[in-house]
Amino acid sequence: MKTISSIIAGCACILSLSMCKQGVATTADYNVVPRPALIVENGSLSPFTLSTKSIIGYPEDNAELKKQAELLADYIFDQTGIRIGVAPAAGDIRLTSDLDAENPEAYVMTVGADGILINGASAAGTFYGVQTLRNSIPAVDADQVVLPAAEIRDEPRFAYRGAHLDVCRHFFPMDSVKKFVDLMAMHKLNNFHFHITEDQGWRWEVKSHPELTTIGAHRDGTVIGRNTSEYDSIPVDGFYTQDELRDLVQYAADRQINIIPEIDLPGHMQAALAAYPNLGCTGGPYEVWKRWGISKDVLCAGNDSTYEFLKDVFAELVDIFPSEIIHIGGDECPKDRWKECPKCQAKAKALGLRTDASGTREAKLQNHVMTYVSDFLHEKGRRVIGWDEILDADFDENAIIMSWRGEEGGIAGATRGHDVVMTPNQYLYFDYYQTTDKDNEPLAIGGYVPLEKVYNYEPVPAVLTDEQQKHIIGVQANLWTEYIPTFEQAQYMELPRMAALSEIQWTDGKSKDYEDFKMRLMPMMQRYDRLGYRYSTRAFDDADQQSAPAE
Ligand code: ACM
Ligand code: ZN
């Protein structure tokens, strides 16, 4: 396997390091990932030289920008070994957030001999300027960084820039989750879709239902390979306490990232049923599932205690997560049990549900359960998002559709007036292979999503009218972890595809140039190396790319 050093050595973009009186100097390059909207460099003006003498200044009494100044100082130290100070008001690098711009996430970064000013239209805008600055600085040991005089004007294309992580099929400790958030920040993503309940494990503390974690967070073993008949006996355990989650919410907020928790319902609930068998149609017993796929055992829609359970769980959820948007799942809910369950059938009858052109009786029963949760969340001032199956019946028109079974759900959703987040599996499922050389990769779920395919994805379908296109509010990639037992492997599957994702989310998409992207990716990969992230270099492997089948 190639390392980034060998790739860089073989390419024209060798990072410039030179000796000066004060030691080793490196030069910043503003051609970062994601590509800024406008970079105007002025070679006739003197550059700014950053060294241990530099100070990052922030407005007094502005806690958010103070935090950003501290983060920036840490980024610079981690990347170069140069430790610089932070102070209120003054500073060679100044952070402010009073830019007059329509887009609240816009920023302007101005570099001159006297220093650097990063001015955002909000604290979020400033933060993205901070990321541009840290990504401009080569990740190499240095005593000084020379930053050419320039003005950068930048803003994102999409307001919703998401990444999803499944911590249920395999569990990742909180420090790994925070590293995932750090990666999101580096790539200017702003919505972390945190998938915390599943058939194979319930991963967060619910005080009113302690057995969700005493029972539901533990599985005795896991099926070997792709759903063979053999199992290992390695326990998979773990959940996050409410205190840990509150701390994570703050950690993410400091990095301008909103956390959208997902409670997947009414399917994908077998771990909850193992803990509370009365919530299922048959009454169990159930086990925390050791296999992959779609379990037929789902929440019973005819049982009053199901609705009580959902109310209790979501009440605690919204107390922990301030996100306006809450994910309520809705995908892959087989109706086999409901068709045979007297309670479900009685409920459907009492509600007068019938199969007709607008949906099947059971789809409408699912809609009833989801609407119950959605109404509850509205009362709490929240808005729901769900997988595209929620379009199988006439669901809350305020709900956001997450289009995962290709783009069709997103197109249908936008046509019906829903806001949409595009996350089609054939472009943005990062649990899929990133090479055709599957024998030399860690076992994955299947599929083929190479870096170039991610980069070239256009999230706004041309079939939509201009009005409908406005409903595409963002883009997200998903990482399901059936075949990803370690956080190291999670990084390998994410990187560098998250970089291509960030280009789709941030840039206007009008002048795509994959070769240019790959050049800009090199210093990013050097940053991954320096910060200890694992990543794939498959996209730089000519043989691999030549053997890639045409789309
Ligand atoms: C999904 O991938 N089941 C949303
Ligand atoms: Zn039932």
pLDDT number for residue 544: 53
* Cα 177 to averaged position of ligand 1 atoms, centre (Å): 20
Ligand 1, atom 2, lies closest to the CA of 404
* Cα 215 to averaged position of ligand 2 atoms, centre (Å): 22
Bridge partner residues of 163 (DSSP): 192, 477
Ligand 1, atom 3, lies closest to the CA of 331
CB 167 within 8 A of CB 237: no
What length does the chain have? 551
CB 38 within 8 A of CB 66: no
CA dihedral 75, 79, 83, 84 (to 10 degrees): -50
Closest listed ligand to the CA of 267: 1
Task: Compute the distance between CA of residue 236 and CA of residue 221 in angstroms, rounded to an integer.
Answer: 7
What is the pLDDT confidence band of residue 23, given thresholds at 50, 70 and 90?
confident
Backbone φ and ψ for 201, nearest 5 degrees, come out as 165, 135
* Cα 170 to averaged position of ligand 2 atoms, centre (Å): 29
> For residue 549, is pLDDT > 80?
no
Radius of gyration of the chain (CA): 25
DSSP 14: P
Task: Tell me the pLDDT tens digit for each residue of 440-464.
Answer: 999 999 999 999 999 999 999 999 9
Pocket test for ligand 1, best of 404, 428, 431 (most atoms within 8 A of CB): 404
Task: Compute the distance between CA of residue 30 and CA of residue 384 in angstroms, rounded to an integer.
Answer: 38
pLDDT number for residue 383: 98
Three-class SS of residue 160?
strand
Before 549, cis peptide (omega within 30)?
no
pLDDT number for residue 548: 47
> For residue 117, is pLDDT > 70?
yes
Task: Compute the distance between CA of residue 320 and CA of residue 335 in angstroms, rounded to an integer.
Answer: 32
pLDDT number for residue 18: 75
Higher pLDDT, 8 or 78: 78
> For residue 342, is pLDDT > 90?
yes
Bridge partner residues of 477 (DSSP): 163
Pocket test for ligand 1, best of 294, 295, 331, 390 (most atoms within 8 A of CB): 331
* Cα 389 to averaged position of ligand 1 atoms, centre (Å): 10
Task: Tell me the pLDDT tens digit for each residue of 55-75.
Answer: 999 999 999 999 999 999 999
Q: Among 316, 340, 334, 337, which residue's Cα sits nearest to residue 326?
A: 316
CB 46 within 8 A of CB 115: no
Q: Among 176, 323, 182, 157, which residue's Cα sits nearest to residue 249?
A: 323
Closest listed ligand to the CA of 281: 2
Closest listed ligand to the CA of 262: 1
Closest listed ligand to the CA of 431: 1
The model's pTM: 0.96
Nearest ligand 1 atom to alpha carbon 480? 2
Pocket test for ligand 1, best of 193, 430, 480, 481 (most atoms within 8 A of CB): 480
pLDDT number for residue 226: 95
Before 459, cis peptide (omega within 30)?
no
HEC assignment per residue over 67-105 = HHHHHHHHHHHHHHCCCCEEEECCCCEEEECCCCCCCCC
Residue with tokens 């070769």: 515
Task: Tell me the pLDDT tens digit for each residue of 98-108.
Answer: 999 999 999 99
* Cα 106 to averaged position of ligand 1 atoms, centre (Å): 32
pLDDT number for residue 13: 39
pLDDT number for residue 541: 82
Mean pLDDT for 161-184 is 98
> For residue 8, is pLDDT > 80?
no
Neighbours of 513 (CB within 10 A): 11
Task: Tell me the pLDDT tens digit for each residue of 29-58.
Answer: 999 999 999 999 988 999 999 999 999 999
Higher pLDDT, 551 or 356: 356
pLDDT number for residue 4: 53
CB 418 within 8 A of CB 384: no
Task: Compute the distance between CA of residue 176 and CA of residue 180 in angstroms, rounded to an integer.
Answer: 6
Average pLDDT of the residues of the chain: 95
pLDDT number for residue 546: 46
Mean pLDDT for 155-170 is 98
* Cα 279 to averaged position of ligand 2 atoms, centre (Å): 8
Task: Compute the distance between CA of residue 272 and CA of residue 197 in angstroms, rounded to an integer.
Answer: 8
Bridge partner residues of 429 (DSSP): 478
> For residue 315, is pLDDT > 80?
yes
Pocket test for ligand 1, best of 200, 265, 328, 387 (most atoms within 8 A of CB): 387
Task: Tell me the pLDDT tens digit for each residue of 466-494.
Answer: 999 999 999 999 999 999 999 999 999 99
What is the pLDDT confidence band of residue 12, given thresholds at 50, 70 and 90?
very low
Task: Tell me the pLDDT tens digit for each residue of 226-246.
Answer: 999 999 999 999 999 999 999
* Cα 403 to averaged position of ligand 1 atoms, centre (Å): 9
Task: Tell me the pLDDT tens digit for each residue of 368-412.
Answer: 999 999 999 999 999 999 999 999 988 999 999 999 999 999 999
pLDDT number for residue 545: 52
Name residues contacting ligand 1 (CB within 6 A). 331-332, 387, 404
What is the pLDDT confidence band of residue 550, given thresholds at 50, 70 and 90?
very low
* Cα 32 to averaged position of ligand 1 atoms, centre (Å): 32
What is the helix (H) or strand (E) element at residue 40, kind and residue range?
strand 38-41
Nearest ligand 1 atom to alpha carbon 429? 2
Task: Compute the distance between CA of residue 321 and CA of residue 246 in angstroms, rounded to an integer.
Answer: 7
* Cα 300 to averaged position of ligand 2 atoms, centre (Å): 4
Mean pLDDT for 516-542 is 95
pLDDT number for residue 312: 98
Q: Among 238, 244, 243, 247, which residue's Cα sits nearest to residue 198?
A: 238
Listed in sequence order, the DSSP H helices in 194-292 are: 211-214, 242-254, 270-275
pLDDT number for residue 16: 62
Cα dihedral 236, 242, 243, 248 sign:
positive
Closest listed ligand to the CA of 388: 1
Cβ within 8 Å of residue 9, ≥6 positions away: none
pLDDT number for residue 20: 65
What is the pLDDT confidence band of residue 22, given thresholds at 50, 70 and 90?
low
Listed in sequence order, the DSSP H helices in 219-278 are: 242-254, 270-275
Task: Tell me the pLDDT tens digit for each residue of 245-283.
Answer: 999 999 999 999 999 999 999 999 999 999 999 999 999
Nearest ligand 1 atom to alpha carbon 478? 2
